[in-house]
Amino acid sequence: MMQAVVQLAYVVATALFVFALHWMNDPKTARRGVHAGIAAMVLAVLATWGLPEIVHHGWIIGAIALGFVVGVPLSRVPLTAVPQRTALSHAFGGLAAGLVGTAKYYLWLGEGPENLTSFRMLAIVAEIILGYLTFTGSLMAAGKLQEIKLIPQRPVTYPGQNIINIGLLGVAGAMGVALVVSPTASWAAILFPVIIGLALLFGVLLIIPIGGADMPTVIAILNSYAGLSAVAMGFVLDNKLLITAGALDGSSGLILAIIMCKAMNRSFTNVLFGAFGQVQQQKLIGEQKTYKAEAPEGAAQVLEQANLVVVVPGYGMAVAQAQHKVRELYDQLKKRGITVKFAIHPVAGRMPGHMNVLLAEADIPYTDLVAMEEINPDMPQCDVALVVGANDVVNPAARYDKASPIYGMPIIDADKARTIFAIKRSKNPGFAGIDNELYFADHTWMLFGDAKNVIGDLVKQLSGASGH
Ligand code: NAP
């Protein structure tokens, strides 16, 4: 009877996980999606706890308490640190899968070799390889994103690197096959920890050649590895919910990685082996051309005269936490009957949906957030493009400069607007490490400074003006 209740709870939890993903597709239903995901996870834990074979309840309570101790502080990181926070979660997931696989192997070995069937062994080998490589790979990714000093941000490459990496994984795989074929051979117990060691090493080597700029995409790929290791764990533990939830995790991670690659016009292999962001060989156009700087007073006057203002937010808006000031500016412009739209590039910021989340936080109506493909045809009619801490996503070099690392990446056509105001703190390049000719264009004026301060100054100018 209990078994039937648990299986029913698993079906409901699976359905909730599917709906959670579906609802997260749209900002209007995203909150409901998060709640559905939480409900599904709580149901999954409670149902599994109810299984008759679970007798040591103290361990479960201890594990849940430990999870809270780690999880609650992790949930409080700022939005800009969410990619590394997510990487840490994958590291924990991978480690859990690896440890469960290891424990099950030694338990079954101790209980009698007949327990180690080829099928179980296959599932264990897949689980430990994927689990442990996800563990170290995700830790490295989190370290790179957090800019931890010990871990180099730039890609580290050496001759024959890909051959060494693939060779290492091949050796681990071959050893795994040997274990599947003869799980009880005398050498099997020696081979098992060697496979673990190779998987741990592979996770580190996999991330070393990848630059910081590609980390968010790599994290999505690691997400799918963690999901696949959960699927294997489901087969090891004969738990159907782990199989379905792991498959959802694995496929959604892969789909997200593909979406991000498409939005940056990069291929999977280019992300994994491209060593993007390694050298800054491009010529610095800043050396021969000069910027024109404008003061907030002048910019506010131009903004007041506009019919259509398109705000192009980027990573700098997130760093400055300028979204609330942007909202005030939006209100000021709307008050004057000016149409204000936000141009949302799919990879603006450091994670998909980054700009949507920030602007939603400041209560900017979703209807004024316009996707890149939809806003671009309107850009020639735009009086002012206000670039707020965006750089790569408005770099025209992506259209024609074949030597540019962002060549082919679709961009927001900010350069087609009549006037461009670009807010950033310095002349430093963006994430791809390249200069942006948009800033030197005849119709571009730079508003140098922290985005929150500059927008605050613009608001002051406009609110002061409206007071007269
Ligand atoms: P970006 O190219 O990284 O440029 C951000 C700009 O913001 C910088 O040039 C910086 O200039 C400025 N900035 C930083 N802090 C600021 C502050 N407090 N106030 C004002 N300006 C500030 O950003 P992006 O245009 O949003 O492009 C995103 C990049 O990330 C793309 O290359 C994309 O491929 C990559 N990426 C994104 C994702 C994703 O999922 N969103 C995933 C992987 C990679 P200063 O230092 O001069 O201020």
pLDDT for 286: 47
The whole-angstrom separation of Cα 344 and Cα 390 is: 11
Ligand 1 pocket test, candidate residues 388, 391, 404, 448, most atoms within 8 A of CB: 391
Ligand 1 pocket test, candidate residues 258, 347, 394, most atoms within 8 A of CB: 347
Tell whether ligand 1 has an atom less than 6 A from the beta carbon of residue 90.
no
Query: Which atom of ligand 1 has the smallest separation from the CA of 428?
Result: 47
Tell whether ligand 1 has an atom less than 6 A from the beta carbon of residue 447.
no
Whether pLDDT at 465 is above 90 = no
> Burial level of 184, CB count in 10 A (0-12/13-18/19+)?
middle
Tell whether ligand 1 has an atom less than 6 A from the beta carbon of residue 226.
no
Mean pLDDT over 449-467 rounds to 89
Lowest mean pLDDT among 102-111, 134-143, 376-385, 399-408: 399-408
Rounded to the nearest angstrom, the distance between the alpha carbon of 394 and the centre of ligand 1 is 10
Rounded to the nearest angstrom, the distance between the alpha carbon of 318 and the centre of ligand 1 is 9
The whole-angstrom separation of Cα 373 and Cα 346 is: 10
N-to-C CA span, the chain: 76
Per residue in 324-347, pLDDT tens? 999 999 999 999 999 999 999 988
Whose CA is closest to 358, among 28, 54, 104, 78? Answer: 78
pLDDT for 399: 92
pLDDT for 378: 96
Tell whether ligand 1 has an atom less than 6 A from the beta carbon of residue 348.
yes
Query: 1 pLDDT band (50/70/90 cuts)?
Result: confident
Whose CA is closest to 357, among 33, 79, 36? Answer: 79
Rounded to the nearest angstrom, the distance between the alpha carbon of 206 and the centre of ligand 1 is 25
Query: Which atom of ligand 1 has the smallest separation from the CA of 409?
Result: 34
Tell whether ligand 1 has an atom less than 6 A from the beta carbon of residue 430.
yes
Burial code (b: 16+ CB inside 10 Å, e: under 16) for 370-397 equals: bebeebbebbeebbbbbbbbbbbbbbbb
Rounded to the nearest angstrom, the distance between the alpha carbon of 405 and the centre of ligand 1 is 15
Mean pLDDT over 48-59 rounds to 92
Per residue in 378-418, pLDDT tens? 999 999 999 999 999 999 999 998 888 788 889 999 999 99
Query: 282 pLDDT band (50/70/90 cuts)?
Result: very low
| Protein residue closest via CA to atom 43 of ligand 1 | 216
Whether pLDDT at 458 is above 90 = yes
Tell whether ligand 1 has an atom less than 6 A from the beta carbon of residue 127.
no
Tokens 């579906």, residue?
Answer: 22
Whose CA is closest to 427, among 446, 442, 405? Answer: 446
Tell whether ligand 1 has an atom less than 6 A from the beta carbon of residue 391.
yes
Tell whether ligand 1 has an atom less than 6 A from the beta carbon of residue 264.
yes
Query: 433 pLDDT band (50/70/90 cuts)?
Result: confident
pLDDT for 277: 53
Q: What is the per-residue DSSP string for 308-340?
A: EEEEEE-HHHHHHT-HHHHHHHHHHHHHTT-EE
Mean pLDDT over 436-446 rounds to 95
Query: Which atom of ligand 1 has the smallest separation from the CA of 352?
Result: 40
The pair phi, psi for residue 108, each rounded to 5°, is: -65, -35
pLDDT for 146: 86
Rounded to the nearest angstrom, the distance between the alpha carbon of 119 and the centre of ligand 1 is 48
Per residue in 259-275, pLDDT tens? 888 888 778 777 776 65
Whether pLDDT at 467 is above 50 = no
Instruction: Give the single-character DSSP code of 29.
Output: T
Percent above pLDDT 90 for the chain: 68
pLDDT for 150: 81
Task: Look at the pTM and tell me if it is higher than 0.75.
Answer: yes
How high does pLDDT run on average in the chain? 91
Rounded to the nearest angstrom, the distance between the alpha carbon of 391 and the centre of ligand 1 is 6
Whether pLDDT at 37 is above 60 = yes
> Burial level of 465, CB count in 10 A (0-12/13-18/19+)?
middle
Whether pLDDT at 161 is above 90 = no
Extract the tokens encoding 260.
């991000």
Q: Which residues are catalytic, by number?
A: 392
Tell whether ligand 1 has an atom less than 6 A from the beta carbon of residue 351.
yes
Q: Where are the alpha helices (DSSP H) in 292-408?
A: 296-305, 315-320, 323-335, 354-361, 372-375, 397-400
Extract the tokens encoding 284.
């610095």
Rounded to the nearest angstrom, the distance between the alpha carbon of 389 and the centre of ligand 1 is 6
Extract the tokens encoding 277.
């962001």
Tell whether ligand 1 has an atom less than 6 A from the beta carbon of residue 315.
yes
Per the CB < 8 A criterion, the answer to whether 362 and 324 are in contact is yes
Mean pLDDT over 195-204 rounds to 96
